[in-house]
């Protein structure tokens, strides 16, 4: 049996809001929220996330380490798109907050995806797999958590700098 698609505009809006709310778990940071954006879980979201976070933080904290922030955001968003399921509605959620001289960034997705393709032969050159090493090297703290609703959140913190 096929699912019934809402035809009434109010029904469609309600369904869209319900889907968008699926990734909105309570953030685990203190301090003011700088911004939050739903991104389509597609490769283009990586570019959008970089531009969004760079503009958002540069406007409020001109001395921040924008290159490191942009690179780590790119890695975490890419991992969410490549290795996880999207939230209902086909999105991931990027959240940015400021607290005590540091930025706290979260990327929430729909939770673990499929197991993925089989491993590549060992004699092939590595084409990826260094993202978490970059996150480790450039952040002051990072981690992941599984949320009660089945979604997953990857987060990191960076010092704002001078």
57-105 per-position pLDDT tens digit: 988 887 778 999 999 999 999 999 999 999 988 999 999 998 888 899 9
Report how far Cα 90 is from the mean position of its chain's Cα atoms: 13
Alpha helices per DSSP H over 22-130? 44-60, 66-83
Pick 81 or 5 by higher pLDDT. 81
Q: Does residue 1 register a pLDDT over 50?
A: no
Looking at the DSSP assignment, which residues form a beta bridge with residue 145? 153
Q: How far is CA 52 from each of CA 37, 85, 105, 125, rounded to the nearest angstrom?
A: 9, 22, 12, 33
Smallest CA-to-CA distance from 35 within 19, 48, 22, 44 is with: 48
Q: Where are the domains of the chain?
A: 29-114+129-159
> What's the rounded Cα separation, in Å, for the pair 64 and 55?
11
> What's the rounded Cα separation, in Å, for the pair 81 and 68?
20
- Position 117 scores a pLDDT of 47
> What's the rounded Cα separation, in Å, for the pair 124 and 134?
22
Torsion, CA 126, CA 72, CA 108, CA 88, rounded to 10: -60
Beta strands of the chain (E only): which ranges?
33-40, 91-99, 102-109, 141-146, 152-159
Query: In degrees rounded to 5, what are phi and psi of residue 110?
Result: -80, 5
Tell me which fold the domain 29-114+129-159 belongs to: Heat Shock Protein 90 (3.30.565)
- Position 4 scores a pLDDT of 52
Task: Give this prediction's pTM.
Answer: 0.78
């Amino acid at each position: 049996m096929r699912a019934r698609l809402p035809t009434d505009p109010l029904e469609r809006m309600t369904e869209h809001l319900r889907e968008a709310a699926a990734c909105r778990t309570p953030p685990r940071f203190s301090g003011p929220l700088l911004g939050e954006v739903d991104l389509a879980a597609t490769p283009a979201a990586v570019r959008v996330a970089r531009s969004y976070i760079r503009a958002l933080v540069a406007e409020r904290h001109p001395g921040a380490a924008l290159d490191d922030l942009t690179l780590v955001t790119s890695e975490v968003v890419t991992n969410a798109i490549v290795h996880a399921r999207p939230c209902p509605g086909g999105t991931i959620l990027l959240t940015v907050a400021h607290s005590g001289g540091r930025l706290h960034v979260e990327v929430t997705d729909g939770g673990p995806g499929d197991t993925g393709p089989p491993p590549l032969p060992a004699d092939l050159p590595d084409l990826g797999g260094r993202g978490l090493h970059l996150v480790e090297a450039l952040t002051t703290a990072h981690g992941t958590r599984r949320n009660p609703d089945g979604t997953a959140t990857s987060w990191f913190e960076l010092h704002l700098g001078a």
